[in-house]
Amino acid sequence: MMFNFAPVLPLLIGAFFAALTRGRVRALLMLATPVVGAVLLYTFTPGTTVPVEWMGLELTPVRVDRLSLLFGYLFHLAAFLGVIYSLHLKDTLQLVASLAYAACAVGAVFAGDLLTLFLYWEALAVTSAALVFARRSERAFAAGLRYLLIQVLSGVLLLAGAIAWAKGGHGLEFGHIGTGSIAGKLIFVAFGIKAGFPLLHNWLTDAYPEATPSGTVFLSAFTTKVAIYSLARGFGGTEMLVYIGAAMACFPIFYAVIANDLRRVLAYSLINQLGFMVVGIGIGTELAINGAVAHAFNDVLFKGLLMMSMGAVLHVTGEMRGSELGGLYKRMPKTAILCMVGAASISAFPLFNGFVSKSMIVTAVLEEGYEWVWLALLFAAAGVFHHAGIKIPFFAFFSHDSKHVKQAHEPPTNMLVAMTIAAALCIGIGCFPGTLYRLLPYPTGYSPYDSSHVLAQMQLLAFSALAFLSLKIYKIYPPELRSVNLDAEWIYRRLVPNAFRHALAAVGRVGNQVRSHSFRLVSSSILALARHHRSEGVLARSWPTGSMVLWVAVLLGTTLLLYYL
């Protein structure tokens, strides 16, 4: 059956028919698509590859192993939740783009060669940008363009790296790459852009808060997780990743504390969670890779849940700035409770899914003796509770009563259902981690629930909460303010455009001077010419006919004289 060769097909066909159908038919179709896709994945056997020869290149469009299968299931699950969440929509652009986007993510994780990966990589960029554009505001359009440019740049780097890699005699197969060669470095940066490496991360915090409510739910699930998958496959055990990951886990939480747009807070917190995964990949032991992959799986669920709850608030109130929200638990109690489940999960409370994967990474870090990185991750773990676990629910649903409390109400049922399923999965995996552990790339006997781990985590979290409480009571906690916080994006949103403008102005000034000098030169040459050629000029003077006759006579006389001689 052809589906065996193309795990992307169900989602892709679903996207195609979502463009043609409307109403209930489309809703049913879109719900069925991820289910059919997931069932088909179940028939795949790890170790299968589908080689294809195309224009003299040996490609592997589909390669199935435990790592790609896990991500395959994850993406189908995410697509299913996202589809339920967006069932109330009538916007064909969004619906088609979201299924196509999910299809590309599935294609990318099953790609067995770098060229196929590149194709899906760029398709991910285009389909996901559509979810930003679908907000249909001027602001979203600008953010979407910036997003698309950076994503395409990542693809171009990947292609350049892939070509250099193949030229180096490695072929196009996508296996372990490493940063030893120029090709490896190019591919590393390409993956790094999508994974949100420090200084390359701003596309995420720029575009995600500008997308539509359901668009952001899809966005938070796929692009970055494809990058994590790719890093795990190509750069597992690259020590540099340990430090890059630690930086990613720590620096965004400062921004998350002061950011006003709550979906931007979540975007920063997404980078923070990616940091944990990147550290795990960098360590590269079986436990660490398992932890990274499991955390990616859990992150899709709890970050999806948080994004869904904020999307619900945005959908109902039209507002996402923390400074303008508050008190919504009175009108949206279900959403508030579901949001808090997501908050507890991302904060890695025991019995919630964040705990069972984050503790794997932290244990692996300690086992390998990276004690400073361990301290950084502990700091990040306390910080994530602070900004995502407390700040998000507190400023949206509690804090002071905002003007939106009067009109707010629970979101449409489909949104609540999607959130409830995600919340149930967060708690389910948290309580029965074995279900997730069985899917991991390496067999594991790891058990997160021993008294030391649980106590340590509870202490860390309870005292983080105490810190928040004390700072709030003593009014030290920074209030939510309408503002923009400068980040690395300032370089390409301000510095470079301004430098370009100044450079243009400078070139203009030089151009003006050159032009005025040239004008002066031309007019002085005209004057000089005129001096000799104008009517009274020496060269333009008219000569009397008499003198002509005289000179002819002289000439003839001279000729005569010479003749006689």
Partner 1 sequence: MSDKDLKRPKSHLFDNPKNVTRVIRGLLLLCLVLVVLDAVIHRHTAHPWEKVFAFYPMYGFVACVTLVLLAKGLRKLVMRSDDYYGRFEEPPEDGPASRSDDV
- Closer CB to partner 1, 295 or 387, in the complex: 387
d(CA 117, CA 155): 9
Minimum CB distance to partner 1, residue 51 (Å): 43
The residues with which 63 forms a beta bridge, in sequence order, are: 49
Size of the site for partner 1 (CB under 8 A): 73
Tell me how far CA of residue 293 lies from CA of 71, 276, 361, in angstroms. Answer: 8, 10, 10
DSSP reduced 3-state for 535: coil
- Closer CB to partner 1, 379 or 442, in the complex: 379
Instruction: Decide if residue 409 touches partner 1 (CB under 8 A).
Output: no
Instruction: Decide if residue 477 touches partner 1 (CB under 8 A).
Output: yes
Candidates 150-158, 294-302, 367-375, 509-517; binding stretch for partner 1 (CB under 8 A) = 367-375
**Options 1, 55, 476, 538; binder of partner 1; rule CB under 8 A:** 476
Contact between 345 and 353 under an 8 Å Cβ cutoff? The reply is yes
Burial of 336 per CB tally in 10 Å (0-12, 13-18, 19+):
buried
- Closer CB to partner 1, 138 or 536, in the complex: 138
Contact between 457 and 354 under an 8 Å Cβ cutoff? The reply is no
Minimum CB distance to partner 1, residue 62 (Å): 35
What is the separation of C-alpha 109 from the centre of its chain, rounded to a whole number of angstroms? 17
Report the candidate in 352, 415, 413, 363 with the shortest Cα–Cα distance to residue 385.
352
Report the candidate in 122, 227, 120, 115 with the shortest Cα–Cα distance to residue 171.
115
Instruction: Give the footprint of partner 1 on residues 202-261 (CB under 8 A).
Output: 212-214, 253-255, 257-258
Instruction: Decide if residue 510 touches partner 1 (CB under 8 A).
Output: no
Candidates 1-9, 13-21, 37-45, 472-480; binding stretch for partner 1 (CB under 8 A) = 472-480
Instruction: Decide if residue 526 touches partner 1 (CB under 8 A).
Output: no
d(CA 321, CA 326): 10
Instruction: Decide if residue 485 touches partner 1 (CB under 8 A).
Output: yes
Instruction: Give the footprint of partner 1 on residues 304-323 (CB under 8 A).
Output: 314-319, 321
- Closer CB to partner 1, 118 or 218, in the complex: 218
Instruction: Decide if residue 468 touches partner 1 (CB under 8 A).
Output: yes
**Binding mask 263-302 vs partner 1 (x if CB under 8 A, - otherwise)?**
----------------------------------------
Instruction: Decide if residue 459 touches partner 1 (CB under 8 A).
Output: yes
Instruction: Decide if residue 483 touches partner 1 (CB under 8 A).
Output: yes
- The dihedral through the CA atoms of 270, 187, 365, 198 has a sign that is negative
**Options 386, 388, 446, 480; binder of partner 1; rule CB under 8 A:** 386
Q: What is the DSSP letter of 388?
A: I
Contact between 331 and 246 under an 8 Å Cβ cutoff? The reply is no
Minimum CB distance to partner 1, residue 496 (Å): 13
Contact between 37 and 10 under an 8 Å Cβ cutoff? The reply is yes
CB-based contacts of 317, cutoff 8 Å, min separation 6: 325, 328, 404, 407, 408
Can you spell out the DSSP letters for 389-423? Answer: IIIHHHHHHSSSPPGGGTT--PPPHHHHHHHHHHH
Minimum CB distance to partner 1, residue 10 (Å): 26
**Binding mask 325-344 vs partner 1 (x if CB under 8 A, - otherwise)?**
----xx--------------
Minimum CB distance to partner 1, residue 290 (Å): 18
Minimum CB distance to partner 1, residue 460 (Å): 4
Instruction: Decide if residue 495 touches partner 1 (CB under 8 A).
Output: no
Candidates 55-63, 148-156, 232-240, 451-459; binding stretch for partner 1 (CB under 8 A) = 451-459
Minimum CB distance to partner 1, residue 381 (Å): 9
- Closer CB to partner 1, 486 or 555, in the complex: 486
Minimum CB distance to partner 1, residue 198 (Å): 15
Instruction: Decide if residue 539 touches partner 1 (CB under 8 A).
Output: no
Instruction: Decide if residue 482 touches partner 1 (CB under 8 A).
Output: yes
CB-based contacts of 91, cutoff 8 Å, min separation 6: 134, 212
DSSP reduced 3-state for 40: helix
Instruction: Decide if residue 413 touches partner 1 (CB under 8 A).
Output: no
Half-sphere exposure at residue 351, Cβ-oriented, CA atoms within 13 angstroms: 3
- Closer CB to partner 1, 212 or 290, in the complex: 212
Instruction: Give the footprint of partner 1 on residues 92-151 (CB under 8 A).
Output: 134-139, 142
Instruction: Decide if residue 363 touches partner 1 (CB under 8 A).
Output: yes
Burial of 125 per CB tally in 10 Å (0-12, 13-18, 19+):
buried
**Binding mask 166-205 vs partner 1 (x if CB under 8 A, - otherwise)?**
----------------------------------------
Minimum CB distance to partner 1, residue 173 (Å): 38
Instruction: Decide if residue 66 touches partner 1 (CB under 8 A).
Output: no
The residues with which 59 forms a beta bridge, in sequence order, are: 52
- The dihedral through the CA atoms of 61, 99, 3, 105 has a sign that is positive
- The dihedral through the CA atoms of 388, 391, 397, 402 has a sign that is negative
